[in-house]
Amino acid sequence: MNILVINSGSSTVKFQVIETTDATGDLLRQQKLARGLVDRIGAGASYRFEGLGRSTQSGSLPVGNHEEAVRSIIHWLRSDGHDLALDAVGHRVVHGGDEFLGPVRIDDGVISKIEALNELAPLHNPAALSGIRAAQKILGAAVPMVAVFDTSFHHTIPEQAATYAIPYELSQKHKISRYGFHGLAHQYDIARYADLNGKPVAQVRAVTLHLGNGCSATAIRNGQAVDTSMGFTPLEGLVMGTRSGDLDPALVNYLARKESVTAVDIEDMLNKRSGLLGLSGLSNDMRELTAAYDKNPRARLAVDVFCHRARKYLGAYLAVLGGAEAVIFSGGIGENSPLVREKICAGMEWCGLTLDPSANATVIGTDSRISAPDSTLDVWVIHTDEENIIARETARVLQRR
């Protein structure tokens, strides 16, 4: 079965075509046939397409909306003599609220329910809907489509971890809860770790640290999420590229008053001008900050605050789990920054965690263990492949029917 995986952002459409060979296990057995993206839709769009035995193609592309972007992707997949069969489409949808606890086949009712969740994810869900509508229009009703949600993996988080300590009636009235995000990434990371260690994911107890431009930590017991750092929105938890993560909620009103701006302005600042960028005044890119670490005190402060917060969550989640067998680093920073991994893991021997310094220094962007042979808490680096989970879930939903 060939599955087109579509991941639509507000101004991007990323895609992969995955040939699935076996979707029954924790990890999909697959072959990637093609991948690419259309970027900056509506404002001087560009594209990069690769695969199908052709050389990589890239350049500018006159597309003004998601429909034109999806059309150009499908046109490329079927051009140059390729008659590539697309048997199904799997769409990544960020927010499933309390409505979608797992993947679903898309029909009009599902689209209306995703639309009703727009308020909870105003930047993300409308983009996913544009991608879904575009693919439906171009491929027609004959190609089944499945929505796979980033929040679903976290629906196993128990009430005491998912509930905010605000008046209970307000949580009920406004559906306020720790929804959690990055679920596909955490789900892949734990499945891949289990696969690499030859055990069923249902037996794994671990903390996953997904550190990219957005960052989140998840505590996982028996393969299921029991706590996660992002909450009602993706702003909570760890320090991120431009997001503050946790702070004293009283700061919102205090800063609004002191700066004579609105609470909406402050929320915007916490999302777009805080985190690594706000702390350093230099960049939201960890590469630049670690390069400047020894010379620039603000870059050093940004990296140190980032690592301290991640370490605090790691310790908290080890307590939530009552210990774990592994800590898993993933995401652009987790996969590629030995310095960040070292700072987060330094001095953790008390809980059985010792890094292997040479493994940590050399493992960059590959799946490998970086803890010392005598470390009782293993540390792994995993290169996240969210599309694997989207394709696996798409195949499973369609096979169930």
The footprint of ligand AMP (CB under 6 A) covers 212-213, 241, 285-287, 290, 331-333, 336-337
Contact 380/329 with Cβ under 8 angstroms?
yes
| 54 versus 308: smaller Cβ distance to ligand AMP | 308
Contact 378/327 with Cβ under 8 angstroms?
yes
| 223 versus 275: smaller Cβ distance to ligand AMP | 275
> Shortest approach of ligand AMP to residue 339 CB, angstroms?
8
The active-site residue, picked from 26, 39, 150, 227, is 150
User: How far apart, in whole angstroms, are the C-alpha atoms of residue 228 and residue 276?
Assistant: 21
> Shortest approach of ligand AMP to residue 288 CB, angstroms?
8
Going by C-alpha positions, the residue among 184, 194, 103 that lies closest to residue 395 is: 103
| 227 versus 335: smaller Cβ distance to ligand AMP | 335
> Shortest approach of ligand AMP to residue 226 CB, angstroms?
24
Contact 96/117 with Cβ under 8 angstroms?
yes
| 9 versus 180: smaller Cβ distance to ligand AMP | 9
Please give the angle made by the CA atoms of 207, 194 and 14, to the nearest 5 degrees. Answer: 80
| 231 versus 332: smaller Cβ distance to ligand AMP | 332
User: How far apart, in whole angstroms, are the C-alpha atoms of residue 138 and residue 140?
Assistant: 6
Going by C-alpha positions, the residue among 333, 322, 327 that lies closest to residue 364 is: 333
For residue 240, give the amino acid letter: M
| 138 versus 339: smaller Cβ distance to ligand AMP | 339
Phi then psi for 150, rounded to 5 degrees?
Answer: -70, -20
Going by C-alpha positions, the residue among 215, 213, 207 that lies closest to residue 180 is: 215
> Shortest approach of ligand AMP to residue 14 CB, angstroms?
11
User: How far apart, in whole angstroms, are the C-alpha atoms of residue 387 and residue 7?
Assistant: 9
Cβ-count burial 232-246 (b if 16+ within 10 Å, e if not):
bbbbbbbbbbbbbbe
> Shortest approach of ligand AMP to residue 390 CB, angstroms?
16
> Shortest approach of ligand AMP to residue 110 CB, angstroms?
28
265 is catalytic: no
User: How far apart, in whole angstroms, are the C-alpha atoms of residue 221 and residue 367?
Assistant: 21
Active site residues: 150
